[in-house]
Structure 1
Amino acid sequence: MTYAGATAADAIVTRTGGVPRVPSNFEWPRCHGCAGPMQFLAQVSLADVEAGTTGLLSIFMCQNDPGLCAEWDADAGGNRAFAFGADAIYLPVPPSEGVTLLDETCGVRFETLDVENYLEAPGRWHERTGRPVGDVLGQVGGNAAWLQNDETPVCSGCARSMEFVVQLEEGHDHRTSANFGGGGCGYGFRCGPCGTAAFLWQR
């Protein structure tokens, strides 16, 4: 995933920032720690991960009191991930309080690199293109490239390990980027049969 410039805040595509596309019954998630509304970080079109698949993986994280709500943990209630179906076509009105949106909506271009581990990709891509390493926004599909230990979440419905969907970098511009502890990566997962999803980050 590489930075493809600013894009529409309501685009039905893989992007970071903007406003999420959601089902009609969606309620904006709130942090279990501070009770404030979460910040929408990204949506991933599942068709970009596996051809023929429909729906979106949407990721939210609390940024009202960064570092105090355990927003890095998949189970602590400081973040939420949703696996939406084809009915995710509506645009919600973000809550008026709290930190709910990123300051930029970034389009994504997909490029293929022959590397054994995603962590090698940003440097290789920079060598090939001459563009800044920070323009690499992450990867979809394949295997998670953990910065620490493997923390693959377990589905609360079937107790099986979830499927890796996306690894996110903080962003191309520190003024508008997500906050994964300063140089960290976010990891999004889903369980297709159960319709559940999870998110965490490491640094």
Structure 2
Amino acid sequence: MITTLMTYAGPVDDQALATRTGGVPLVPAGFVWPQCGACAGPMQFLAQLLVNASRTQGTAPAERILSIFMCQNDPGLCDEWDPVAGGNRALLFARTGLTAAPVPAEGETLLPETCGIDCTTADTAPYPEVRSRWSQAQGRPLRDVLGQLGGAPSWLQHDETPACPSCAEPMSFMAQLEEGRDHQTAMNFGGGGCGYAFACQPCEQGSFLWQC
């Protein structure tokens, strides 16, 4: 599979229709801000990813948005790393007719900064190798690589590909997220961890987990 790096592209508008971390999610009518299944507080919005209908990213205009949320009201106490424990959500939307979501007045809901992301198609080498080569070739730090879009997950532990809650088939890998480039933009994946986003597009279901 082709590895497509997601690299830091500087600050962007917090309502940009773009692949980004942070900012305010763009959502369809009727959207309800996700609440944690453990503490019942509003989750933190982490990232908005423009994805294609197929598993191959970057070969056609993105048709969907995958929005990722994770509880940060009591970090480490709500099983936010688990794909089914209720501490995170990955929501798949059509990219048309979206508006900025009303942000809850209380709770840890937004990251301090919004980071734009460039998607750079590389080659079929594994993600860690492509990440390292990009850093060396560009003369930029590894932390400027914010993850990969599509391709194959580079698990820090064992394979945890989730099953779709609707059809029970293995879900398709959509993206891998690094924690971030500094304390202002970082997501909490346990300190040096990675997040993994999946989707079953026929069932319009998303899933998220992290490892460290």
Q: TM-score, normalised by structure 2?
A: 0.92
Q: Is 1:84 matched up with 2:93? A: yes
* Matching residue within 114, 124, 129 for 2:123: 114
- What is residue 165 of structure 2 aligned with on the other side? 156
User: Which stretch has the larger CA shift, 106-115 or 190-199?
Assistant: 106-115
Change over 3 Å in CA distance of 1:78–1:87 after alignment to 2: same
Q: How does 1:54-93 map to 2 (within 5 A)?
A: 54-87=63-96, 89-93=98-102
- What is residue 9 of structure 2 aligned with on the other side? 4
Distance 1:52 1:126 in 2: 27
Distance 2:161 2:94 in 1: 22
> Contact (CA 8 Å) 1:165, 1:190: kept in 2 or not?
yes
Q: Which has the higher contact order (CA 8 A, sep 6+)?
A: 2
* Matching residue within 186, 198, 201 for 1:189: 198
Structure 1 residue ranges without an equivalent (≥5):
none
Distance 1:85 1:176 in 2: 26
Structure 2 residue ranges without an equivalent (≥5):
1-5
> Contact (CA 8 Å) 1:21, 1:88: kept in 2 or not?
no
Q: TM-score, normalised by structure 1?
A: 0.96
Q: Tell me the amino acid that sits aligned with residue 144 of structure 1.
A: P
Distance 2:205 2:58 in 1: 16
Q: How does 1:20-31 map to 2 (within 5 A)?
A: 20-31=25-36
- What is residue 46 of structure 1 aligned with on the other side? 51
Q: Percent identity?
A: 57
Bigger strand fraction: 2
Deviations 1:161-185 (A, max 9, x none): 0011010001111232100001000
User: Which stretch has the larger CA shift, 125-134 or 63-72?
Assistant: 125-134
Change over 3 Å in CA distance of 1:97–1:140 after alignment to 2: same
